[in-house]
Structure 1
């Protein structure tokens, strides 16, 4: 069965008056939009239940493809292979870019992504575009996030058999006020009313408290836990104290350092003279960056279970990489990123 087409309201079509005058249903869903993956959940009366898409997946890729007039995301569509996601038509990593201006270092590092990220360096929103039929189609981080939220909302409505308007959204602990505002705007564009924007470590602490309620109630003792969450785009750390099913955040910190930074460091290690390639947006260069990115991701995944990995990839234009990387080498490459996480 064909997936339905989704529409997203523009910024001009969503106002505070409309938001406050809407009648929201009582059912609320929880959404975690990660930099690389996302999921949606609902409280079923006794526990949190993760919802599945039509492909029986609880975790879905956080991307939107602009191949035609109706963009589609990782909830309703599935790419035939990894290279399709890196061909210029797919936009991802928007959680890293939303609410940032073009002078932000995170925006500049995102120029190595296989789609268009252009900056003027004057403190304005960067230009983001997908390659559609060899033509750049401009968009914004808010629009991309909203498209994905619309699909998650539709998926939840089909499974729960009721309209959904309310949402609790998890966000990185390091998000500033403007980033929170832009996330709320994306939710409004998707027709969702934000009940709460919850820091990701806080959500983990609540789940930890819920799962340990009976044990803590019986002993009456307080449990101190360190929550460390390093995703693709952000790293959050929290210290919680849990007793009697109640969890209290004692300390909370975060930074915009994640797996994406480790990946980019590894890409530059495999191809030392890659700066011009990573920041160029010619059609051949986009394909080369995509091939390099896939090979690097595969190598990093392999090093989690083995001590060495052979990287063989032909980037085209006469550029080939044939290199053996060991785990110690990878740890040295990522050392500065991890030191930055500890310092933050």
Structure 2
């Protein structure tokens, strides 16, 4: 038996396939929803989780999902944080100091007990859902939470894909296109899927891992000077004043929706369904907004709080063999690559590549007698390495060799959970260095959502800087080579040709100093043209000697 779990920001659920149908398990009080809340009574060694913890929301822990995979200083929280900036987040909860994954593990353990009570036996394997826009660190933290709770995590499943399964969208016609608008308590995802012959392929995904119903609650509480609990009640009532407060927050999702459609190369008119997921989509304001953005009445046939958990249970059935003829193809939400000479971002796996996937490239030493190469793993959409996130780095050693002769093969592999493993191989010896990338990015999580916007905003200057950097590298390679060739050939180069070549080399140096891309490109083209005959003369000289 493999169970499916929706580990949500506000509520969590657990279920499994039973007689061909996904079933969600209720607790001893008949509730399928378990609040993702934790509270340590005074002097207690074990926490209270769920509905009882929700009664102590002022001193307990809520919305821990927002802190998964984060480091101190990256995110704002009202919870008491322990540690120095840059260290993994730990929280003071009662007398305990706990990481977000340890807190999540308590929630998962409660769900595990719930499932074992219903099934009458041990439950050890699980599928756990994650927002499609969770980065590698957040996915790794979720997997660790599952393992701490005593599960073998068989698969991390993107929430929009799970929702699509729950809606039974495999029954749509050939090449159907579906948008999944998922607005939960703490995260927002928008994904565009293509469904054909039982294959669910995510074409594009976008979102905001720091936007959800919690933000509505806070904005309402601040506007009217009331508690969060009162704000949540006012939100459910709706009304014009509530809509005025919440609309600006909701508007933040518009760009993500449009970008996801653009990336998927799907027009609004080509969508067969727009489905709503997440408790916040119950708000009339949200449904009106979705209708406005997509020009289509949203499909609300499934319970918005339960759709993801039902999909997780179906995926668990697929993995256990009880559900057949359904295949899920997810995508990686952001590009992955390494830093190369000149501070450039070299992409190995582009954003929206279907996973699992593998890609590699060969790199050579940039300096003579170099004995090692530092592999810096990056995630992001900018042209220059410094503007992307550093996921991790390691060093590959090799024997000293002339410039360009030592070769290292670098391979990225993303598994079905979206977790990255990097392999670097010294080609001369065949020695491999393998690294599982689990470190959190060293910038704020808000930058996840800004990354695509920044890549668009700075697209032209980024590309200009990249092209100038590449031209500068070429110039730095050519100028010494030209000087060496002229010295080797001596009077075999006519004086007029030598003067023209030196003048072109001078123009390259001047353009570099001016940092003029247009002049540098033109000067390099001239130098290329003028030095073409030198190559043939050098070969003749070598053969003659």
Q: TM-score, normalised to structure 1's length?
A: 0.68
- Structure 2 partner of 1:22: none
- Structure 2 partner of 1:123: 86
State the Cα distance separating 1:339 from its structure 2 match: 5.0
State the Cα distance separating 1:130 from its structure 2 match: 2.6
Rg larger for: 2
Give the SS at the match of 1:188.
helix
Match of 2:12 among 38, 56, 66: 38
Structure 1's 30 and 335: CA in aligned 2 closer, same or farther, altered over 3 A? closer
Q: What RMSD in Å do the two structures reach over aligned CA positions?
A: 2.3
- Structure 2 partner of 1:261: 215
State the Cα distance separating 1:200 from its structure 2 match: 0.5
- Structure 1 partner of 2:233: 298
1:235 aligns with 2:188: yes
Give the SS at the match of 1:86.
coil
State the Cα distance separating 1:341 from its structure 2 match: 4.7
Structure 1's 179 and 155: CA in aligned 2 closer, same or farther, altered over 3 A? same
Structure 1 residue ranges (4+ consecutive) displaced by more than 4 angstroms after TM superposition = 339-344
Contact 1:62 1:148 in 2 (8 A): yes
Matches of 1:250 and 1:333 in 2, distance apart?
A: 28
Matches within 5 A, 1:25-174: 27-67=1-41, 68-74=44-50, 78=52, 84-88=55-59, 90-104=60-74, 107-108=75-76, 110-111=77-78, 115-117=79-81, 120=84, 122-131=85-94, 136-174=95-133
State the Cα distance separating 1:332 from its structure 2 match: 4.4
Contact 1:29 1:41 in 2 (8 A): yes
Matches of 1:78 and 1:233 in 2, distance apart?
A: 21
Matches of 1:62 and 1:335 in 2, distance apart?
A: 23
Structure 1's 116 and 177: CA in aligned 2 closer, same or farther, altered over 3 A? same
Q: How many residues align?
A: 256
Matches of 1:335 and 1:41 in 2, distance apart?
A: 31
Give the SS at the match of 2:207.
strand
Contact 1:102 1:126 in 2 (8 A): yes
- Where in structure 1 are there 5+ consecutive unaligned residues? 1-26, 272-290, 309-325
Matches of 1:339 and 1:202 in 2, distance apart?
A: 20
Matches of 2:7 and 2:69 in 1, distance apart?
A: 15
- Structure 2 partner of 1:334: 249
Structure 1's 119 and 52: CA in aligned 2 closer, same or farther, altered over 3 A? same
Matches of 2:256 and 2:12 in 1, distance apart?
A: 23
Structure 1's 292 and 340: CA in aligned 2 closer, same or farther, altered over 3 A? farther
Matches of 1:117 and 1:296 in 2, distance apart?
A: 25
Matches of 1:118 and 1:239 in 2, distance apart?
A: 39
Contact 2:190 2:256 in 1 (8 A): no
Structure 1's 103 and 87: CA in aligned 2 closer, same or farther, altered over 3 A? closer
Structure 1's 123 and 270: CA in aligned 2 closer, same or farther, altered over 3 A? farther
Show CA shifts across 1:183-226 (max 9, x none). Answer: 12111111110100011011112233xx255x54xxx5332111
Give the SS at the match of 1:34.
coil
Structure 1's 332 and 152: CA in aligned 2 closer, same or farther, altered over 3 A? closer
State the Cα distance separating 1:41 from its structure 2 match: 1.0
Contact 1:30 1:169 in 2 (8 A): yes
State the Cα distance separating 1:228 from its structure 2 match: 0.7
State the Cα distance separating 1:232 from its structure 2 match: 0.9
Matches of 1:64 and 1:299 in 2, distance apart?
A: 24
Contact 2:132 2:159 in 1 (8 A): yes
State the Cα distance separating 1:48 from its structure 2 match: 0.8
